[in-house]
Amino acid sequence: MNIVQKIKSIFFEKAVPLPVGLYQLTTPADSEIPYRMHLRIEPGGAGVLIINASTVLHLNLTATEFAYHLIKQTPREEALQSIVARFNISYMQAKEDFMGFVNRINTMINAEDLDPVTYLDFELEKPFQGIPVAPYRMDCALTYKLYGDLENKLSPVERVKRELSTEEWKTVLTKAWNAGIPHVIFTGGEATLRPDLPELLQISEDLGQVTGLITDGLRLSENEYLDQLLNAGLDHLLITLDTANEQSWEAIKDVIQQDIHTTVHLTLNERTIEDTNPILIRLKEMQVTHLSLTTSSKTLSESFQKVRDTAANMGFNLVWNLPVPYSHYNPVEMETENGISNPEGAAKGWIYLEPDADVLPEQGVNVVLGNLFEDTWEQVWAKATDYLNTKHES
């Protein structure tokens, strides 16, 4: 080896890999800017950083190193020396990159209405590569009940005979957090039919998880109820818009005024497909920024594509990877066929729990990977890993 190779081997090869695990930092309540952060480090060195239990940041190796030292409160000079050794860069470059990262995190700590999931621009790799130590999100169908004459008439599968109690859901959420799952979305059916929804949100908030809710939004027009959800720690919303119901529009109007990230979901069917332009214009005038689209029929695929393009041209941010609650539309998800979704996310990026805690790779994929209330996380994840390996081989 020449002298340059020797120097590189001395510094780079001695850099010990960051230990896999979950790390957290909570600043004192009387701090100038109190905050809390959780960092999950994957075996490959990438990581997930949770800021104030409201935003999940996906990080590559470089950003994970920065976040690790930030959470461990490593003295700056010691952190910079470690960065220089691990990535074989100059001291000045390490200092510039590290301080840039810290400044961005400080900005995000004080920002409002952040996306619940963000990818920092550190030469990012495609998400959901390889098999992680756990998925990044758990979608929890609390109930399959619906309001009105549809209540109790719809269950996607006959074997779902019961709903978990509050205490049982607490056990499931705690298992998920201990496994390293940072993000939970409550859905249904109609999740607001569960009287313990605020309590479940608070449980996740106390654990440190980012929480979302998928709902028809009708109860959100009740200001007291909306405040109750927000105070329990709800971080983001997806509201399924019923275009014919003014209460649904009113709920969106009320929520948009709040400090919470909101996505509106629109199911395109034979009734709404011809009226989408006025709908999109009205949403835009209400200052809706994020939109989720599905369709009730594959025969509408071409029209669906046109609506999606129109929405994008109007400046809506299209959300492709949130589940849609089972409803009387029973929507056929078209995102994969139309190039919106990433099919690799099932069982890697997210898992789906039915009301009895049966675990599916994602909504609509009826492959049971175990039951997270009855089984250990290790048992569930072993089956999920087998499912992913089999799917990859096929």
The full set of domain ranges for the chain reads: 3-119, 137-393
Q: Is 268 helix (H, G, I), strand (E, B) or coil?
A: strand
Per-residue pLDDT for 143 more than 80?
A: yes
Give 293's strand partners: 266
Average pLDDT of the segment spanning 307-321: 88
DSSP strand pairing (137-141 vs 117-119): unpaired
**Which pair of structure tokens corresponds to residue 353?**
């729990």
Report pLDDT for 336: 38
Between residues 269 and 242, the one the model is more confident about? 242
- Residue count of the chain, please give it: 394
CB 217 within 8 A of CB 245: no
pLDDT digits (tens, 9 = 90+) for 253-286: 999 988 888 999 988 877 777 789 999 999 999 9
Determine the Cα–Cα distance for residues 305 and 313; give it in Å rounded to an integer: 12
pTM for the whole structure: 0.80
Q: Per mean pLDDT, which of 171-175, 207-211, 270-274, 276-280 is the most reliable?
A: 171-175
Query: 205, 207, 196, 142: which is closest to 174 by C-alpha?
Result: 207
Average pLDDT of the segment spanning 219-223: 89
User: How much is the CA Rg of the chain, to the nearest whole Å?
Assistant: 22
Between residues 148 and 243, the one the model is more confident about? 243
**Which pair of structure tokens corresponds to residue 240?**
């399924």
**CATH code for 137-393?**
3.20.20.70
Determine the Cα–Cα distance for residues 130 and 122; give it in Å rounded to an integer: 19
- Give 8's pLDDT tier (boundaries 50, 70, 90): very low
